[in-house]
Amino acid sequence: MTAASSQFLHWRGWRFLSVALVALLLLGPAIWNGYPLVYYDSEDYVEMAFSWQPIIFRIMTYGLVTALARPFDTLWVIPLFQAALMAWMLHEAVWAWIARYRPHVYLGMGVLLSLATGLPWVVAQVMADMFAGLTILGIAVLAFGTALPLWRRLLLIPVVGLAMCVHMTHVAVACGLVLVLAAMWLTSRFSLRMPRPRLRLVLPAVFLGIAIVPMVHWLATGKAYFSASGQVLQLALFVQDGLAQKYLDEVCPQGADLKLCEYKDALPQTADDFLWGPSVFQQLGGWDGMQAEAATIVKGAIVTFPADVAKAMAHNTLTQLDLIGTGEDLVPMSWHFVKTQLRRYPEDFRAFRYAKQQRHGGIDFELLNQIHVPIGQAAQLAALVMLAVAWKRRDRISTGLLLVVIFAFLGNAFVCGALSNPHDRYQSRIVWLALFAVSIAAIRLDQRFTVKRPVASAGEGGAVLDYPEKQNQAQKQDRSGTGHG
């Protein structure tokens, strides 16, 4: 073996080791807990992986992920898979945007995100929430990561498609980001400062993610659909905002044929109580029986009181933007998940039963949120400052990344707050991206990390390369801007 080959293998070995170490950091909460973290919804996703029967208020695609645990008879496979996938995506992002890449830069980013954000607590859950951030970061890499070799960007297409399809909110946010990127592309034709995103890889990834959802439902049920519960969720939010009662007060005295008319003065105060509590919703048929009436009330309220609906949607969006606490509803599952655990993964039951999450009082997230929430808030403000700095310096990569993250925050807050119901877990699952984007932009202020250097040989790696890439790519300067233009 030549000295050059030996040095190359040594360099690549450090890369693999760094990814493994970051994955281990992201697994930290599950390791500390003694078992993967379980949320209320986890039960349904685990069950669907075995029964492959639809649940009207869930989409089935995350069942593809939870099904990975079946051959191994342990739910540990889920956080392991999620941690490895997130660690790899972070690696590709750092590689794409920091030219003088070193494993210690990536490791430092992994340590920062693991200690200062709630990312590991999202990764460690048997839930689809981790894939929200993965979708956004993946789209950003596909759009602005032209420094990454093409074959590695092609590998990201199915990953982004998978990350999108596991939850309808991910699909909605991704589609919104396509519109944002298209607007940026058009604007770049008139402004040299505006980054020009590469859409040729983003569009296939988004189309794949959109197509998987109805395809999976068709394979399982014979019917191709996206979601069967959208109108019911919107009705619950209208109940919480008082819009449903206001509409019922308007139409019920006129003889409207609505079952809720009889109960309009006894509606619950919150959407969660309406859907999951012992409310009139269950008495009137629940998710199946209330579909048609929910659609009628939602449409009627929008048409009758458009200003009130718009005001409520704006309020819920702003509320969602501010809800970034870690660990919402990661409470003891002393009754909710027990039957599923015993039936599907009995060998794991002891570990599940004695995990810290299941102890009396559960996990106390107060101290963590005294760290995570202020850092998240500061990082979001810093993202706006760094956007102005990147724009002034003509750093189109940082500008593109920060714009994607900022618009993703707004889109996620609208989709989850205005169209569903504001909760901490919806925004906390992606708020770590603010710190990541700000850190990337700050590192790129140093010219040494953004100016590509010529390499000694072609190929994805060389013996002594600072940034392994073909020389013609290293010297290329185009309007997508890997440097400062």
> Pick from 356, 341, 334: which is nearest to 32 by CA?
356
Q: Are residues 183 and 250 in the same domain?
A: no
Q: Are residues 252 and 176 in the same domain?
A: no
Q: Are residues 130 and 208 in the same domain?
A: yes
Range(s) of the domain holding residue 84: 3-225+327-366+448-475
Q: Is 386 a member of any domain?
A: no
Q: With 90 as the cut, is the pLDDT of residue 231 above it?
A: no
> CB–CB of 90/130 below 8 Å?
no
Q: Are residues 333 and 277 in the same domain?
A: no
Q: Are residues 124 and 187 in the same domain?
A: yes
Stretch among 66-70, 131-135, 163-167, 293-297 having the lowest mean pLDDT: 293-297
Report how many helices (DSSP H) and strands (DSSP E) the chain contains, helices first. Answer: 25, 0
Q: With 70 as the cut, is the pLDDT of residue 2 above it?
A: no
Q: What is the mean pLDDT of residues 242-256?
A: 92
For residue 192 the two structure tokens come to 């040299």
pLDDT in tens, 376-394: 999 999 999 999 999 999 9
**Residue 95: partners with Cβ closer than 8 Å, 6 or more residues away:** 101, 106, 147, 148
pLDDT of amino acid 484: 38
Q: With 60 as the cut, is the pLDDT of residue 471 above it?
A: no
Q: Is 184 a member of any domain?
A: yes
Q: Is 434 a member of any domain?
A: no
CA distance 337 to 298: 33
Q: Are residues 79 and 195 in the same domain?
A: yes
Q: With 80 as the cut, is the pLDDT of residue 277 above it?
A: yes
Question: Which amino acid, 133?
Answer: G
Identify the band that residue 460 occupies on the pLDDT scale cut at 50, 70 and 90. Answer: very low
Over the chain, what is the mean pLDDT? 89
Q: Is 437 a member of any domain?
A: no
Q: Are residues 206 and 293 in the same domain?
A: no
Q: What is the mean pLDDT of residues 268-291?
A: 86
Q: Is 410 a member of any domain?
A: no
Query: pTM for the full model?
Result: 0.90
pLDDT of amino acid 449: 63
Q: Are residues 200 and 56 in the same domain?
A: yes
pLDDT of amino acid 23: 98
Q: Is 383 a member of any domain?
A: no
Q: With 80 as the cut, is the pLDDT of residue 69 above it?
A: yes
User: Which of residues 139 and 58 earns the better pLDDT score?
Assistant: 139
Q: What is the mean pLDDT of residues 211-240?
A: 89
Question: Which amino acid, 32?
Answer: W
Q: With 70 as the cut, is the pLDDT of residue 314 above it?
A: yes
Q: Are residues 259 and 127 in the same domain?
A: no
Query: Strand, coil or helix: what is 125?
Result: strand
Identify the band that residue 3 occupies on the pLDDT scale cut at 50, 70 and 90. Answer: low
pLDDT in tens, 12-51: 777 889 999 999 999 999 999 999 999 999 999 999 999 9
Domain count for the chain, please give it: 2
CA distance 119 to 326: 9
Q: Are residues 116 and 255 in the same domain?
A: no
pLDDT of amino acid 303: 95
Query: Strand, coil or helix: what is 37?
Result: strand
DSSP notation for 157-209: HHHHHHHHHT-HHHHHHHHHHHHHHHHHHHHHTT-TTS----HHHHHHHHHHH
Q: What is the mean pLDDT of residues 423-450?
A: 91
Question: Which amino acid, 396?
Answer: R
> CB–CB of 356/33 below 8 Å?
yes
Q: Are residues 266 and 192 in the same domain?
A: no
Stretch among 10-19, 234-243, 260-269, 282-291 having the lowest mean pLDDT: 10-19
Q: What is the mean pLDDT of residues 93-104?
A: 81
Q: What is the mean pLDDT of residues 49-65?
A: 91
CB atoms within 10 A of CB 249: 12
pLDDT of amino acid 263: 87
CA distance 36 to 76: 6
The percentage of the chain sitting over the pLDDT mark of 90, rounded to a whole number, equals: 72
> Pick from 323, 345, 356: which is nearest to 422 by CA?
323
Q: Is 85 a member of any domain?
A: yes
User: Which of residues 391 and 453 earns the better pLDDT score?
Assistant: 391
CA distance 231 to 234: 5
Identify the band that residue 129 occupies on the pLDDT scale cut at 50, 70 and 90. Answer: very high
Q: Are residues 11 and 113 in the same domain?
A: yes
Identify the band that residue 276 occupies on the pLDDT scale cut at 50, 70 and 90. Answer: confident
Which DSSP helix (H) or strand (E) runs through 118?
none
pLDDT of amino acid 192: 85
Q: Is 375 a member of any domain?
A: no
